[in-house]
Amino acid sequence: MVMNTNDSSLTGFILLGFSDHPRLQKILFVLILIFYLLTILGNTTIILVSCLEPQLHTPMYFFLCHLSFLDLCFTSSVIPQLLVNLREPTKAITYSGCVAQLYISLALGSTECVLLAVMSYDRYMAICRPLRYPVLMHPQLCMALAALSWLSGVATTLVQSTLTLQLPFCGHRFVDHFICEVPVLLKLACVDTTFNQAELFVASVIFLIVPVSLILVSYGCIVQAVLKIKSAAGRQKAFGTCSSHLMVVVIFYGTIIFMYLQPAKSQSKDQGKFVSLFYTVVTPMLNPLIYTLRNKEVKGVLKKILLKFLRINSV
């Protein structure tokens, strides 16, 4: 940060958010609070069930635990500050708070982009290589793929966030958004940001287009393999196993690609805010619902645990 031309590091920022819509803020506060509580409940349940139930000690649920943990941390880095700003008239965030939010949310979001591609590879191996699946997807490989997801997310964040924070903001404090993100902070810079924009575009292609391409290839192979299954019940089970992951992929990547790879000038003033609101608030809440409501194994385990709990309390 250039301290002599940037007093934002001393005074912090003002996250304008949805201040242009005072009535909407009250509605959003209630909805976001409900979504946040459901996110915590749903993702915590998936983590506990997957860890406690031996039946779910498989690569699929290993990666699902990582996804749930990511969603818990990601929403917790954004929503508490958002809820405070929806209620407080000042809508201020300290410089250190903005930096922390920028690093954490970007690292977790980038990690999830890679993790979803890893999960599609796991589904490919399970359906296209069923006999060798237990040998190929051994615990060491699963841990290595999970570590790759986390390390790649952290690495790109160190580059993007550091380059952004080195720009002089020249005292600009008003951020027309509800979260400290790279694209909105670049707009505050009082110097040419062509290099930063180019770097952001390259990173977006690597972490969005490349994973989506790999996912599409994986599911193309999966569809070919499933269509060869003679049993209708077998085809239905295979498609049912993958449909949950595919729904998550469409929702998550669709909104982020719309936000990061669409020219900024083509977006309306509030368009980017509502798109960001969807992938920071709605998607993490939908993930556990999609995986539990559309997955017979998880529903069966939850039912068994609930019945066991009721029996213990009735004694």
Mean pLDDT of all residues in the chain?
Answer: 83
What local confidence, expressed as pLDDT, does residue 294 receive? Answer: 62
Check which CATH number belongs to the domain holding 63 and give it: 1.20.1070.10
235 or 1: which leads in pLDDT: 235
What local confidence, expressed as pLDDT, does residue 241 receive? Answer: 65
Q: Does the structure show a pLDDT above 90 at 31?
A: yes
**Owning domain of residue 121:** 3-314
Share of the chain above pLDDT 90, in %: 29
- What is the tally of structural domains in the chain? 1
What local confidence, expressed as pLDDT, does residue 1 receive? Answer: 38
What local confidence, expressed as pLDDT, does residue 3 receive? Answer: 39
What local confidence, expressed as pLDDT, does residue 188 receive? Answer: 86
How confident is residue 298, by pLDDT bands cut at 50, 70 and 90? confident
Give the pLDDT confidence of 217-252 residue by residue, as tens digits. Answer: 988 888 888 877 777 776 776 676 677 777 778 888
Give the pLDDT confidence of 89-124 residue by residue, as tens digits. Answer: 888 888 899 999 999 999 999 999 999 999 989 988
What local confidence, expressed as pLDDT, does residue 309 receive? Answer: 66
- Other C-beta atoms closer than 10 Å to the C-beta of 5 total 13
Closest CA to 149 of 56, 221, 64, 72: 64
Dist. CA 305–CA 220, nearest whole Å = 36
Report the DSSP beta bridge partners of residue 92: 14
Give the pLDDT confidence of 183-218 residue by residue, as tens digits. Answer: 888 888 888 888 988 888 888 889 988 998 998 898
Share of the chain above pLDDT 70, in %: 88
- Beta carbons of 271 and 247 less than 8 angstroms apart: no
Q: Does the structure show a pLDDT above 70 at 5?
A: no
What local confidence, expressed as pLDDT, does residue 314 receive? Answer: 62
- pLDDT, mean of residues 166-174: 83
- pLDDT, mean of residues 137-157: 94
85-97 as b/e, with b when 16 or more CB fall inside 10 Å?
A: bbeeeebebebee
130 or 242: which leads in pLDDT: 130
Closest CA to 67 of 245, 260, 212: 245
How confident is residue 175, by pLDDT bands cut at 50, 70 and 90? confident
Q: Does the structure show a pLDDT above 60 at 2?
A: no
53-65 as b/e, with b when 16 or more CB fall inside 10 Å?
A: beebebbbbbbbb
What local confidence, expressed as pLDDT, does residue 190 receive? Answer: 86
How confident is residue 258, by pLDDT bands cut at 50, 70 and 90? confident
How confident is residue 153, by pLDDT bands cut at 50, 70 and 90? very high
How confident is residue 6, by pLDDT bands cut at 50, 70 and 90? low
H/E run at residue 153: helix 139-165
